[in-house]
Every structure is written in structure tokens, then in C-alpha cells.
Amino acid sequence: MEDLNQPLDAGLGSDASDDGLKITDEIRRYWLETANWALFLAVLMFIGIGLVLIGMFVGGMMSVGMAAGGGIAVMIMFFLYALLLFFPAWYYYKFSTLTKQAVNTGDNNALEDGFDYLKRFYRFIGILIIVVIALYILFFIFGIAMLSNFRN
């Protein structure tokens, strides 16, 4: 039972030394749901990695006879793709499990680590997007340069 017979500013004095932001039940519910969706996405990504690895072996087998080292090149490409998928999936998975653990047991270190993994996920995807956009622009410039070369 809550003790309602206390001043309105209870807990805002010495207890509010840690920046005043309180982790309420509402916030913990949001964190739990966010963590559950992140786990779902992580599982899907892990399934995707499995499919890519199957593709790596099938594609490698099929393209072995096509060209010298062709099978190896295809397999390396698939493997790089799987590696690229692995990091975000792993970060989501760690964020999800650590945050759930923190909310359920009140473990502050787990909470801090959980949000560290969420940050890593966002940073990874952000850098990936920047790299992809840069590559697009680079290919675009190369394409234009090649076209103008053909004309001369």
C-alpha cells in the first residue's frame, strides 16, 4: 500500500541527486516492450544469417566450375554479407536480454550495458547507411565519368 500521507516534494530533495530523472513503472513497461520487439528483430536477423550461410554453400558449390576462383569469390561475398548482418543482430539481442534482466531484477549495470548495445546498434546502422550512400554517389560519379569517356 502506498503511503500517501507525505509532502508532495518527497523524494525531490536529497534523493533526487542523480539528475532527477526517475525510472517509473511506465518507463519500465516501455523498455520491456521495446526489448521484446528488438529480440524478435534479432531472431529474424539470425534466421537471415542462417539463410545467407546456406546460400554461401549452395552458391559456392554451383559456381565452383564456372571460373578460376569463382566459387571462392562467391563464398567470400556471402560470408561478408552474413558478417554484416551478424553485428546488428548481436547488438539487438544483447540490448534485449540485458534490458529485460535489468527491469526484472533491478540490475543497474545490466541497464547501462543494455543501452550501450542499443547505442552500438544505432551507430553501426548509421555508419553502414553513410557508407552505402557514399558508395552510391561514388558509383554515380564513376558512371558519368565512364559515359563521357565513351563519347570522346
Partner 1 sequence: MDSFNNTSDLRVTSGMETNWRITSKWAMFFAVLGFIFAGFYLLGAIAIIPMIRMMASMGVMPEPMASLIGSFSWVFVLIYLIALGSLFFLSYFHLKFSNGINRAINFTDQNAFVGAWRNLRNHYRLYGSMVIVFIVLYIVMVIAVFSIVGSAGGNLNY
Sites of contact with partner 1 (CB under 8 A): 2-3, 10-11, 15, 18-28, 30-31, 33-34, 37-38, 40-41, 44, 102-103, 106-108, 111-112, 115-116, 118-119, 122-123, 125-126, 129
Smallest separation (angstroms) from partner 1 to the CB of 108: 6
Smallest separation (angstroms) from partner 1 to the CB of 109: 9
Smallest separation (angstroms) from partner 1 to the CB of 16: 9
Considering only CA atoms, which of 126, 105, 118 is closest in space to residue 39? 118
Triad 142, 148, 150: Cα angle to 5°: 105
Nearer to partner 1, 38 or 75 (CB): 38
Owner of C-alpha cell 530533495: 13
Alpha-carbon span 92 to 89, nearest angstrom: 5
Question: Cβ contacts of residue 12 below 8 Å, gap of 6+?
Answer: 20
